Amino acid sequence: MERIEMMLGATNKLISVYNINIDDIEGKFNLQTEVTKVDRSEFLNLNNPNYHEMISRFSHSKVLKMNDDDKKELLPIHLILGMSNYAKIKTETMPKMGRPRKPVAELTKFEQFSHQEKKLIL
């Protein structure tokens, strides 16, 4: 039983924690991490950034290639990584950045091995 503190109050709830492995497509990179199951039918969605349109709009992203061409208006978030996991997947490659408040593209170890591509992180 864990106590969960939220902005609008606190509650005691049984929390399921799992150890998982996240692999790149080719199996050359593996991230072992601990995840907490959230009992919600829908945790979080983001408006579809329409990567192909975004890449064409921003000059700093012209070198990018994206395989994600999902057309749904909202895209589900299945997993949220914390800063400690982000540090494990980050590469030495400099991010592609434009003006302030514009999209940033960064190569991660997942992409480095599987596709040699960069992914937009909004």
Confidence (pTM): 0.58
Residue 116 has pLDDT above 60, yes or no: no
List, in sequence order, every residue forming a beta bridge with 45; answer none if it has no partner. 76
Give pLDDT tens digits for 45-65. Answer: 889 988 888 888 888 887 777
Encode pLDDT of 4-52 as tens digits: 666 666 667 777 888 999 888 778 889 999 888 877 776 788 899 888 8
- Grouping H, G, I as helix, E, B as strand and the rest as coil, residue 76 is strand
| Max CA distance (Å), the chain | 50
Phi, psi of 76 (to 5 degrees): -75, 145
- Domain around 68: 2-121
Rounded CA separation 108/8 (Å): 35
